[in-house]
Structure 1
């Protein structure tokens, strides 16, 4: 089931890269392994993805943290403001996650919702096993209507 949810401000800490689409399949598993090998004490992991320009993607693999959490060496802190998202619970192989995101974009197009380029994927675990994921696509803010 696809639903609209509102998430609070999220503080994400992790490793960030920018790469072309065709390079992500090779780079992302290595980045996850690097994160899981780091001694962060984290238990809630996510991937934050955006497409800043011309087919290149900016990806952060990391964990949710408190605002005051120290940033480990080599990692980046990313603060995402509170906003609305389309959400889909996905269960299946990791290779199918892209099709889950496509379902969210197709739903947005069919219902007239405007999406941004920000995507969130919660559910990664050490070993990159096939677990349940929560996929989110950011919605553009709606203009205020004055009555």
Structure 2
């Protein structure tokens, strides 16, 4: 089931890269391994993705943190403002996550909702096992309709 949820401000800390789409399949598992090997004490992991330029993606693999959390060496802190998202619970192999995001985009298009380029994927675990994921696509503000 796809639903609209309002997420609060999120503080994310992790490793960030920018790469072409075709390189992500090789780079992302290595970045996750690096994060899981770091001694952060984190238990809630996510991937934050955006497409700042055609065909290139900015990815952060990290964890949710309090605003006062110290940033470990080599990591980046990313502050995401509160906003609405489309959400889908996905269960299946990691290789199917992209199709889950496509379902969200197709739903938005069919229902006339405007999406941004920000995506969130909660549910990663050490070992990159096939676990339940929460996929989110940011919604853009809808224009006011005057009647």
TM band (smaller chain)? over 0.9
Q: Please give the alpha-carbon distance, in whole angstroms, between the structure 1 residues aligned to 2:48 and 2:23.
A: 17
Is contact 2:113–2:142 with CA below 8 Å preserved after alignment? no
Q: Please give the alpha-carbon distance, in whole angstroms, between the structure 2 residues aligned to 1:126 and 1:100.
A: 21
Q: Please give the alpha-carbon distance, in whole angstroms, between the structure 2 residues aligned to 1:54 and 1:7.
A: 27
TM-score normalised by L of structure 2 = 0.98
Q: Report the alpha carbon displacement of residue 142 of structure 1 after superposing the two structures with TM.
A: 2.2
Q: Report the alpha carbon displacement of residue 54 of structure 1 after superposing the two structures with TM.
A: 1.6
Counterpart of 2:58 in 1: which secondary structure?
A: strand
Query: Following TM superposition, where does structure 1 have runs of at least 4 consecutive aligned residues deviating by more than 4 angstroms?
Result: 144-147
Q: Report the alpha carbon displacement of residue 141 of structure 1 after superposing the two structures with TM.
A: 1.4
Is contact 2:71–2:77 with CA below 8 Å preserved after alignment? yes
Number of residues paired by the alignment? 147
Counterpart of 1:25 in 2: which secondary structure?
A: helix
Is contact 2:87–2:136 with CA below 8 Å preserved after alignment? yes
Q: Please give the alpha-carbon distance, in whole angstroms, between the structure 2 residues aligned to 1:101 and 1:117.
A: 11
Is contact 2:120–2:136 with CA below 8 Å preserved after alignment? yes
2:141 paired with 1:129: no
Deviations 1:8-42 (A, max 9, x none): 00000000000000000000000000000000000
Is contact 2:47–2:121 with CA below 8 Å preserved after alignment? yes
Counterpart of 2:34 in 1: which secondary structure?
A: helix
Counterpart of 1:31 in 2: which secondary structure?
A: helix
Structure 1 gap segments, 5+ residues each: none
Pairwise CA RMSD: 1.0
Q: Please give the alpha-carbon distance, in whole angstroms, between the structure 1 residues aligned to 2:146 and 2:39.
A: 51
Q: Please give the alpha-carbon distance, in whole angstroms, between the structure 2 residues aligned to 1:116 and 1:16.
A: 19
Q: Please give the alpha-carbon distance, in whole angstroms, between the structure 2 residues aligned to 1:32 and 1:70.
A: 20
Q: Report the alpha carbon displacement of residue 146 of structure 1 after superposing the two structures with TM.
A: 6.6
TM-score normalised by L of structure 1 = 0.98
Q: Report the alpha carbon displacement of residue 118 of structure 1 after superposing the two structures with TM.
A: 0.1
